[in-house]
Structure 1
Amino acid sequence: MLYETLILPFVEFGFMQRALFGAFMLSLSACPVGVFLMLRRMSLTGDAMAHAILPGAAAGFLLYGLEIIPMTIGGLIAGVVVALGAGAVARFTIQKEDASMAAFYLISLSLGVLMVSSRGSSVDLMHVLFGTVLALNNDALILIAMVSVMTLCALGLFGRALVAECMDPLFFRSVSRLGSPVHFLFLGLVVTNLVAGFQALGTLLAVGLMILPAAGARFWTQSVATMCLLSVAIGLFSSAVGLLLSYHASLPSGPAIMLSAGSVYFFSVIASPRGLLLSHLRRSA
């Protein structure tokens, strides 16, 4: 019974195997990036950037259809343009960065939806917004694997610098020339992982695999390295459970993965050593 429920779907069906491999690769790269995004207090910025890639992906879709390379290149260009545009507005005007980022992402999201709707069907729009992890092809898996390898290599080489830049960016920039390059490297990792994630989870949910496992891991440990490992474990678990729920209950795969990660997050909020329950018991003792 357990074999038929938990293992057989991944053994019997190739689309489940590809979905699991893609989700696992995304978890290995996006979850540690999400930890740094959370430590920088940039979680909502990551959400804004996820929406910002939509016009570029939509432009690739309008020109070439659901082809992975044009949509990926378009998403990367749109993400970079929005990041630079929002940063320029914040730097040269009185507006703060959060407000300019919110304005840019709302414009980008609206523009992308209009672009897809103008030529595609509602099915195409749902594909771009929410992804189709159960329909990942070999090209998408190769892209996700390449992004994962690149991200893990970058984190291995610049991990200590990223931690230092997260904790005290002004001090780090004052004592090291790596401050600004590391900051832009991190933004590049965010954008590339969002572009890879949108192939499976769509532009609206791509950031979820970054933020939810990282937010859940934050309740269990204060060590950055342990937090990264735990967030990856939560991402892997949520991916497998979400795909099984999608298969057995005929649920949309992307939202099922996100709800699985959300369930782990709420469990962490309540039952972790730093969660509501134990914190309340310690105060009452």
Structure 2
Amino acid sequence: MYDFLIAPFVEFGFMQRALMGSLMLSIGACPVGVFLMLRRMSLTGDAMAHAILPGAAAGFLLYGLQIVPMTIGGLIAGAIVALGAGAVSRFTVQKEDASMAAFYLISLAAGVLIVSLRGSSVDLMHVLFGTVLALNNDALTLIAMITGTTLLTLAIFWRALVAECLDPLFLRSVSRLGTPVHFIFLGLVVLNLVGGFQALGTLLSVGLMMLPAAAARFWTTRVEPMCALAILIGFASCVAGLLLSYHAALPSGPAIILSAGVIYICSIVFGTRGVFNTRTRHHRHRTA
């Protein structure tokens, strides 16, 4: 048991850094995923994950696979897409889902094209799917800063974020925080996706954000326990995925997301609000 569960994280530094980085990502990204889900913006996270690609690709084109240029580029690209899509939905007849889809498709195509100008297919795979086992100290520092910023922002704007999930029109009618909080929240989404792409790539970083949140929804209805449970599910997914990657020689990023997917499917079936318990309650109600 020791050799299977603990030894990989004790004996190898790259496994320790991968575990530390992925756990920090879970702490920041999973609560953001809960709010995305409650605001019915789950696919927005996927769109934003694609949106950071051209900025990261531009940093790669100019400086190669260096963290700081790719991160700055990703932040700029994500901010442009978030603000652009938000502005289009606020000031035109087009809804936010349509404007976001348009922006992210343009971003995805531009990012792949930029990477292809200089890099190989290996470089493209690195940008798209990440290399969690190759995290270095600079990447861990960046992820720690993003996680700290996320937690601080959530603590400051918690009540406003919860209110906007429940009734955004009411929040805007009683407070001026409605629109600013919306864009602050989109900024948190971009920030965590930029941190996640270092480990999981632009295509899979949204998985660690949304799958634990979606799984937690089948166990509780309160926001605070849902966020805590999502973080714990994220932890379990990261540990299981890294162990699966190590012992079965599988790509680490997909292994983490697939582990989260297994927990999500189990939650659908066995969660307190899942299929099995819902059917049991209905059966008891009919026989009562």
Shorter-chain TM-score: what band?
Answer: over 0.9
Matched, 1:154 2:132: no
Aligned length: 284
User: What are the residue-to-residue correspondences of 1:23-102 with 2, within 5 Å?
Assistant: 23-102=22-101
Matches within 5 A, 1:1-285: 2-285=1-284
**SS of structure 1 residue aligned to 2:6:** helix
Determine the C-alpha separation between the residues in 2 that align with 1:93 and 1:159. Answer: 29
- Name the stretch that deviates more: 238-247 or 103-112: 103-112
CA deviation profile, 1:71-100 (whole Å, cap 9, x unmatched): 001001111111122223333443222111
User: Is the alpha carbon distance of 1:93 and 1:160 closer, same or farther for their aligned partners in structure 2, counting shifts above 3 Å?
Assistant: closer
Provide the rounded CA distance (Å) in 2 between the counterparts of 1:278 and 1:206.
Answer: 31
Q: So what's the TM-score if we normalise by structure 1?
A: 0.97
The DSSP-based 3-state class of the residue aligned with 1:273 is coil
Cα distance in 1 between the residues matched to 2:20 and 2:237: 13
Displaced runs of 4+ in structure 1, greater than 6 A?
Answer: none
Amino acid at match of 2:184: L
1:251 CA drift (Å): 0.5
The 8 Å contact of residues 83 and 183 in structure 2, kept in 1 or not, is answered as no
Choose 53-62 or 149-158, whichever is displaced more: 149-158
CA apart distance, 1:281: 2.0
CA distance in 2, matches of 1:283, 1:277: 10
Listed as ranges, the gaps of 5+ residues in structure 2 are none
Provide the C-alpha distance between the structure 2 equivalents of 1:86 and 1:178, rounded to a whole number of angstroms: 19
Distance of 2:45 and 2:77 partners within structure 1: 14
Task: Work out the CA distance in 2 between the residues paired with 1:234 and 1:93.
Answer: 39
CA shift, 1:161, in A, is: 1.6
Give, in angstroms, the shift of residue 185 of structure 1.
Answer: 1.4
Over residues 120-178 of structure 1, what are the superposed CA-to-partner deviations in whole Å (9 max), with x where a residue is unaligned?
01110000000000000111100000000111111122212211121111101111222
Please tell me whether the aligned partners of residues 53 and 74 of structure 2 are also in contact (alpha carbons under 8 angstroms). Answer: yes
Instruction: Give the aligned residue type for 1:67.
Output: Q
Contact 2:60 2:69 in 1 (8 A): yes
Q: Whole-Å Cα distance in 2 between the matches of residues 23 and 230 of structure 1?
A: 16
> 1:161-199: CA deviations, max 9, x gaps?
211121111101111222222222111111100000000
**RMSD of equivalent CA atoms:** 1.0
Using the TM superposition, name which of 272-281 and 205-214 deviates more. Answer: 272-281
Q: Distance in 2 between matches of 1:72 and 1:159?
A: 26
Quick check: 83-92 or 223-232, which moved more? 83-92
Quick one: distance in 2 between partners of 1:281 and 1:273? Answer: 10
Residues 1:70 and 1:84: Cα distance change in structure 2 (over 3 Å): same
Q: Which runs of 5+ in 1 are unaligned?
A: none
What is the CA–CA distance in structure 1 between the aligned matches of 2:55 and 2:95, rounded to whole Å? Answer: 25
State the secondary structure of the residue aligned to 2:54. Answer: helix
TM-score by length of 2: 0.96
Identify which range, 86-95 or 251-260, moves more after superposition: 86-95
CA distance in 2, matches of 1:26, 1:47: 16
Tell me, in whole angstroms, the C-alpha distance in 1 between the residues paired with 2:156 and 2:114.
39
